[in-house]
Structures are given as C-alpha cells and as structure tokens.
C-alpha cells in the first residue's frame, strides 16, 4: 500500500495549488505528475485510481488542482467560481511548472528522480504547452516522458459567435452539469491567446518537445475528436507512440465519483497498464 500525503504550494497570482502525493511502498523508480482537465480536479473519477496504480508500480505520484480550477478540497462544489472565471492557459502552465520546480527543489517529494507528465483532456494541452515552451530552457527540469489522454490538439474551441460574445460581454456562461453552478469563462482566457498566438499553438509547441511521448485516446470519445490524437502524434514525431482504446469514452468509462470498491472498466485498465509501463520504461532508460 502506498502512503498518501496532502500538500499545498503557491500557484498563479499566489493562489494555492492543492495536491496529493502517493508514495510507493518501496524505493521510488521515478515520479509522475497528473494534470486534470476543464472542470476537473485532482479527486475526479479516474485520477485517484491512476495515482494508486502508478505508486504501486514504484512511482512517486502527484495529482493536484490547478490554482484557478475553482476547486478546493470541498469536492461537492466549485468553492471558488471567481478563480474559475480568471483561469487561463498561462496560469495553468505557471502552475504546472511550479509543481515541477517544487519537486526539483525538494519542497515536494521526488527530487533527483526522472519524471513524467500526464495530462487528461485540457490537462494534456497544459503539459504539452509547458514542455514545449520550456524545451530549450536550461533552467527547466526536463521531463523524460509525457502522456496525454483524450487531449485536444488546440487551445481554443470557441465558435465565432462565442468569441464575439466573450469579447463583447467579458464572459461566457459555462454551466457545471456536476454541481449545477453557472460558472463563467472570462475574457482573459481568450485575450491572452489573441495577444500571443505562438505561445498557444499546441502542435507547433509539441514539435519542440524532445522526450518520449504516449498519446492515448478513446475510440468513442464524444467530447474530443479521436483525430486529435493523430494530429498530436504527427507533431511529436518519431519519439511518440499512439494508443487508441476501443470502446473508451472521454473519461475511459469511469464514473465520477468512482466508488472505492468499484473495479476499473476494461478501458481504464488498459490505460492504467499503458501509463505505468510507459512511465517506468522511460524513467529506467533515463538513468
């Protein structure tokens, strides 16, 4: 059994990044960082399951809430909708880099170990942006591997009408089906992309990444087209492997919340095996 420890570090604009660290029972063979997607959070559905599987395989595993996700440890609600409205890609990249640097400095567990980035859906975009923007930064602790799951190949999926409304009114309503709250997407989300298109070009930035990568997607994903997986594979090139999981939806057929005594779906089991095997392989190769 792994040991789980809660942590908190400062994120974008000084807001807290809340995380959980799963420590393996024996000697750690590497580390992995798990980034959630839009309206997700560290305790959502499959993330605790993935974290436990990675720790059981010998990886120090960190899952966390982005500072502007709107989520705290009160998982029944978005306790900070004001932060959700101010969220942007730059804030998420800031947080992702902050977690990486906290590990490298020893503030969080895993110092000195090779590490892998894992992102689901929009979290996958964030890890691609982070790794791509800092691929040539000698001060940045480079990952040895990167995994995306059900991840778009773009930063902005807003229609022309939504774009015009967001710029004119300053927000778009984005209801949460889970909590019933009328959340807002703020103008800053779009404005920073208009101000810096190169910094938000997912495919161009992915081409900068030099570590090994694994792109995973469900064949039956109704949220993000499976074609995105092929776009990312082409951008990442020969260092990338792709895996399309038959019958998997956007969350790999996992309910939220997932009962503690519930067995993973066949699709989630396939994802778990692939992620752990990949992470251990690239961490071992890097030594």
Q: What is the pLDDT of residues 105-158, one digit of tens each?
A: 999 999 999 999 999 999 999 999 999 999 999 999 999 999 999 999 999 999
Other beta carbons within 10 Å of 276: 19
Fold that domain 3-154+197-286 belongs to in CATH: Rossmann fold (3.40.50)
CA-to-CA dists, residue 5 to 2, 30, 61, 108, 188, angstroms: 10, 17, 10, 10, 34
State the chain's mean pLDDT as an integer: 97
Lookup: tokens for 64 = 């966390």
* Domain boundaries defined on the chain: 3-154+197-286
Q: What is the pTM of this model?
A: 0.98
- At 239-277, the pLDDT tens digits run 999 999 999 999 999 999 999 899 999 999 999 999 999
Non-local (6+) Cβ contacts of 43 within 8 A are: 75, 257
Average pLDDT (51-70) is 98
Q: What is the pLDDT of residues 189-228, one digit of tens each?
A: 999 999 999 999 999 999 999 999 999 999 999 999 999 9
pLDDT of residue 2: 73
- Write phi, then psi, for 62 (nearest 5 degrees): -115, 125
In angstroms, the CA 94 to CA 88 distance is 10
């Amino acid at each position: 059994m792994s040991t789980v420890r809660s942590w908190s570090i400062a994120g974008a604009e000084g807001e807290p990044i809340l995380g959980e660290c799963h420590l393996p029972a024996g000697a750690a063979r590497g580390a992995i960082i798990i980034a959630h997607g839009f309206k997700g959070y560290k305790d959502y559905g499959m993330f605790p399951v993935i974290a436990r599987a990675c720790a059981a395989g010998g990886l120090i595993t960190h899952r966390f809430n982005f500072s502007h996700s709107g989520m705290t440890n009160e998982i029944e609600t978005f306790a900070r909708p004001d932060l959700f409205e101010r969220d942007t890609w730059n804030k998420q990249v800031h947080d992702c880099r902050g977690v990486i640097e906290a590990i490298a400095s020893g503030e969080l567990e895993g110092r000195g170990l090779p590490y892998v980035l894992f992102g689901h859906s929009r979290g996958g975009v964030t890890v691609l942006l982070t790794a791509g923007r800092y691929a040539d930064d000698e001060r940045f602790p480079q990952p040895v591997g990167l995994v995306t799951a059900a991840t778009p190949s773009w930063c902005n999926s807003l229609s022309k009408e939504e774009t015009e409304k967001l710029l004119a009114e300053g927000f778009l309503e984005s209801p949460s089906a889970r909590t019933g709250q009328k959340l807002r997407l703020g103008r800053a989300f779009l404005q920073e992309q208009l101000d810096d298109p190169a910094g938000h070009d997912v495919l161009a930035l992915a081409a900068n990444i030099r570590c090994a990568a694994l792109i995973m997607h469900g064949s039956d994903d109704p949220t993000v087209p499976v074609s995105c997986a092929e776009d990312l594979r082409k951008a990442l090139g020969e260092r990338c492997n792709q895996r399309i999981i038959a019958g998997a939806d956007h969350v790999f057929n996992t309910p939220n919340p997932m009962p503690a005594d519930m067995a993973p779906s066949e699709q989630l089991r396939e994802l778990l095996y692939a992620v752990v095997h990949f992470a251990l392989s690239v961490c071992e190769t890097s030594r």
